[in-house]
Structure 1
Amino acid sequence: MLQGHGDDGYKYKQDIKANFSTNVWYGGYSEALKRHLIKNWNAIDSYPEASAESFIHVLAKDLDVETNMLMAVNGATEAFYLIAQCYGNTSSTIVVPTFSEYEDACRINKHKLDFINWKDLSSFSNFDTDLVWICNPNNPTGDILLQKDLDILLQNHPNSVFVIDEAYIDFTDAISSSIDLIKKHQNLIIVKSLTKNFAIPGLRLGYLIADKALVQKIEFYKAPWTVNSLAIEAGKYLIQHKADVLPPVKHCKSSAEKFTEKLAKISGIKIQPTKTSYFLIELEKGDSTELKNYLISEFGILIRDAKNFRGLNSSYIRVATLNQEKNQLLIDALQKWSKLNTL
C-alpha cells in the first residue's frame, strides 16, 4: 500500500460516531448472514477450497456464464495485483482521480504509466497502452462511463485490455454492469467486489470475470486458498439472497440528494456532481487534513481526506451518505467549521 486509503478509524482511540470515510453500504449489516456463518463455523477446521469452487459455481449460475470465465479473489484488490503481475513490464493507462491500488499494483510490477483525467474520458479517447484501468462508477468522483461508450472503446482498441472496476455498480441507477460485453469483447476484464455492496469488507471477497483465455492467463499467478472458508460461505449465501441485502438504489439516491442539498447551503464548500451515494466536496477555504482532524477531535466524525488521490489536492474531501441522523451530525459540524473559517 503505497498511497494509503481513507477509512483509518482504527488509528483513533476515541469513539467514531459517524464514519463518512468509507463507501461501504451503511445499511448492509445482516443478522441472517451472521447466523449462517455461525452455523458454518466448523468450516475453519479444514483448508478452504483452493479456488473457492463452490462459490464460483453459485456465481456462474447467477450470472449465467461458464465457471471458467470467473475467478474468486480476496477482495477486488487481489484481482488488481494479479492482473498487474500478469502484465508485468508492460504499460498501463489509469483514468484519474481514482482508487490508488491500480497505480500501486502497476508500479510494483514495473508498468510504464500514463494518466488521463476522468473529465477527458469519452468514447473518442485514444489509448496505446497494454492495459487501461477504469473505475465505473468512479471512486472518488461518482462519475460514470456509459456502456455504449465502453463498447466503442473496446472495439477501437483491440490491443488494449480494459480493466473495469465495478465495485460501486450497485450504488447507482445511472448505469448497469457491463458483464454482457464480456461475451462480445475478449479484451475486457470486469472486477467485482462483494465488500462494498454487501457490507463485508473484513471478509475480503470479490471476483473477476473475463474471456476464459484471459482468466486462465491471470490464474497462473494466483496463490491457492486466498479466499477463506467463511468468505466462501458468505459469498454463496449473499449471492443466493442478494435481493434481500443489496442497497436499495432509489432510497440511496433520494438520501444522497437530500444530504447534498443541505450541505450545499453551507458557506465555504462546493458539492461536486455525482451519480452515486458518495461524492467530493471542494473546500473554498481551509485544508482537507485540518478539517479531518477538526471533525474527528471535536465531533467524532471521520471523513475521507482526498488529497492523496492523484489529480486532487488538499481542497477536497470525500463523503459517503449515511442515515439521516448521522448525515445531520456532519451538516451541523460543517456549519460550525464554516463559521470559524469566516471569522
Structure 2
Amino acid sequence: MLHGHGDDGYQYKQPIVANFSSNVWFGGKLEHLKQHLFSNWEKIHSYPEAAAESLVDALASELDVNKHQIIATNGATEAFYLIAQCFSGLKSTIIIPTFSEYEDACKVNKHKLYFINWTELNSTTLFEEGLVWICNPNNPSGNILGLNDLENLLNCNSKSIFVIDEAYIDFTDEIGSSIDLVDKYQNLILVKSLTKNFAIPGLRLGYLISNKTLVQNIQFYKAPWTVNSLAIEAGKFLLANKIDFVPPVNYYKSEAKKFKENLKKISGLRIHPSKTSFFLVELEKSSALELKKFLISNFGILIRDASNFRGLTSSYFRIATQTKEKNQLLIDALTEWSKLNL
C-alpha cells in the first residue's frame, strides 16, 4: 500500500498545526542527532556497508544476542517483505485490524491468506501451518498480547512461524519485548523499528531478530545497501544515547488517560480502550473521512482515517496523544464538529 497510511499531511496545501495521524513519538532531542549526522556527512560519498554490519554489531551488543541473529533493514517494512518472500507461497494468518503491509507483502509473494480478529485471539488459538503475523502492541488498536500468552501460542503451534512486530513496544509499560523467547523457540521472528520510538521515520531504520537458521534463510533475499550511511550512523548514535531519546512512558500514559477522559465528554464519539498512547475512536454518525476533511480545512489538524484497516468500518479513526496544548486543540475542534452533527 503506497498510500493510505497515517501522516499524509504532505498531500494537503495548508500547514498542519497538529498531527494526530502518526503514532511516532513527537518528542526527543533530535538536535543532537542532527549535529551527529552532519559530522558524518562525508560518508554519503561512499557506498554504505552492504548489510549495515557496524549497526548490526551495535544492536547485538545492546540486545545481548549473536550478530548472526540480526538483519538490519530499511524500516520494519523491508523486514516484512523479506520474510514474506522467504516463505513465498505458504499460508499466512494475520491478526486484524492491523498494519496493512503484512497483507501486502504476503499478497506480492502469493501467500494463502487467513484473518483472525484480535477479539478471537487467545493463548490456545490453533493456526494452520505457515506464518502468523501479530503486531504487539497492535497498530491501530493498542491491544497487547501478554508474553505468557505468546509463549503458549508458540508451544501450541510449533509448526507455525510467528512474526511479532514490536515497533510500538516502547509505547506501553504493560508488556516488555519477547526477545528472551528467541533462543528458546525456533518458530519466532521479531521485527523491531528504530523509527517510531526515536522519531526518525524519514530515515527508514529497522531490524529483525530470530534464530541463526531463519536469519540465514531470510538474508538470502536481502538486497545490499538498503540501509544508507546516514541511517547506519543515526542508529548507532541513538543506541549509544538511548536514554535521551526514548518516549517517556509514564508521561504518555498520564496524558493519554486525561486526553481520553476529555474526549469521552464529547457527544458522538466512542473511545476504544488501548494499552498505548494511540487509540481508536468510533463515530456514531458520519464517516472518519468527512471528519478528517473538516479538521484539515477548518483547524489544520490531521487524524488517521482508519477505515482502510481490514476489520474496521468507515466510522473509525486513530489518534495519538500529543502535547497538552495540541490535545486541547483537537478536543475543541471535535467539540465543534459534534455541535454541527447533533
The normalised TM-score by structure 2 is: 0.99
1:115-169 C-alpha deviation (Å, 9 max, x unpaired): 0000111101110130000000000000000000000111111111000000000
Matching of residue 248 in structure 1 with residue 248 in structure 2: yes
| Structure 1 segments of 4+ aligned residues over 3 angstroms from their partners | none
Query: How far did 1:28 drift?
Result: 2.6
Task: Indicate conservation of the 8 Å contact 2:282/2:315, yes or no.
Answer: yes
Matching of residue 224 in structure 1 with residue 220 in structure 2: no
Task: Tell me the distance in 1 between the aligned counterparts of 2:29 and 2:326.
Answer: 16
What is aligned with 2:275? Answer: 275
Task: Tell me the distance in 2 between the aligned counterparts of 1:201 and 1:170.
Answer: 15
Query: How far did 1:61 drift?
Result: 0.5
Task: Tell me the distance in 1 between the aligned counterparts of 2:246 and 2:338.
Answer: 36
Task: Indicate conservation of the 8 Å contact 1:3/1:100, yes or no.
Answer: no
**Corresponding residue SS for 2:221:** coil
Task: Indicate conservation of the 8 Å contact 2:124/2:156, yes or no.
Answer: no
What is aligned with 1:62? Answer: 62
* Letter of the structure 1 residue corresponding to residue 225 of structure 2: W
1:93-131 C-alpha deviation (Å, 9 max, x unpaired): 000000000000000100000000001111011101300
Matching of residue 188 in structure 1 with residue 188 in structure 2: yes
What is aligned with 1:7? Answer: 7
1:60-83 C-alpha deviation (Å, 9 max, x unpaired): 011111000000000000000000
Query: How far did 1:4 drift?
Result: 2.7
Query: Identity over the aligned pairs, expressed in percent?
Result: 68
Task: Tell me the distance in 2 between the aligned counterparts of 1:291 and 1:29.
Answer: 33
Task: Tell me the distance in 2 between the aligned counterparts of 1:45 and 1:80.
Answer: 29
What is aligned with 1:73? Answer: 73
* Letter of the structure 1 residue corresponding to residue 31 of structure 2: E
* Letter of the structure 1 residue corresponding to residue 222 of structure 2: K
Structure 1 residues 21-30 or 299-308, which shifts more?
A: 21-30
**Corresponding residue SS for 1:307:** coil
Task: Tell me the distance in 1 between the aligned counterparts of 2:283 and 2:77.
Answer: 30
Task: Tell me the distance in 2 between the aligned counterparts of 1:17 and 1:26.
Answer: 13
1:19-78 C-alpha deviation (Å, 9 max, x unpaired): 000010011351111110011111101000000000011110111110000000000000
Matching of residue 91 in structure 1 with residue 91 in structure 2: yes
What is aligned with 1:172? Answer: 172
What is aligned with 1:114? Answer: 114
The normalised TM-score by structure 1 is: 0.99
Query: How far did 1:285 drift?
Result: 1.0
**Corresponding residue SS for 2:115:** strand
Task: Tell me the distance in 2 between the aligned counterparts of 1:303 and 1:29.
Answer: 25
Task: Tell me the distance in 2 between the aligned counterparts of 1:117 and 1:291.
Answer: 26
Task: Indicate conservation of the 8 Å contact 2:29/2:244, yes or no.
Answer: no
**Corresponding residue SS for 1:124:** coil
* Letter of the structure 2 residue corresponding to residue 11 of structure 1: Q
What is aligned with 2:340? Answer: 340
Query: How far did 1:333 drift?
Result: 0.2
Task: Tell me the distance in 1 between the aligned counterparts of 2:255 and 2:60.
Answer: 33
Task: Tell me the distance in 1 between the aligned counterparts of 2:115 and 2:191.
Answer: 20
Task: Indicate conservation of the 8 Å contact 2:169/2:177, yes or no.
Answer: yes
* Letter of the structure 2 residue corresponding to residue 284 of structure 1: E
What is aligned with 2:263? Answer: 263
* Letter of the structure 2 residue corresponding to residue 39 of structure 1: S
Task: Tell me the distance in 1 between the aligned counterparts of 2:4 and 2:314.
Answer: 15
Query: How far did 1:3 drift?
Result: 6.7
Structure 1 residues 27-36 or 221-230, which shifts more?
A: 27-36
* Letter of the structure 2 residue corresponding to residue 82 of structure 1: L
Matching of residue 137 in structure 1 with residue 131 in structure 2: no
* Letter of the structure 1 residue corresponding to residue 109 of structure 2: N
Query: How far did 1:244 drift?
Result: 1.0
What is aligned with 1:200? Answer: 200
Q: What RMSD in Å do the two structures reach over aligned CA positions?
A: 0.8
Matching of residue 310 in structure 1 with residue 310 in structure 2: yes
What is aligned with 1:50? Answer: 50
Task: Tell me the distance in 1 between the aligned counterparts of 2:129 and 2:144.
Answer: 22
* Letter of the structure 2 residue corresponding to residue 172 of structure 1: T
1:203-247 C-alpha deviation (Å, 9 max, x unpaired): 000000000100000000000000000000000000111111100
Task: Tell me the distance in 1 between the aligned counterparts of 2:188 and 2:4.
Answer: 27
Could you say if the C-alpha distance between residues 324 and 292 of structure 1 is closer, same or farther in structure 2, counting changes exceeding 3 Å? same
**Corresponding residue SS for 1:183:** coil
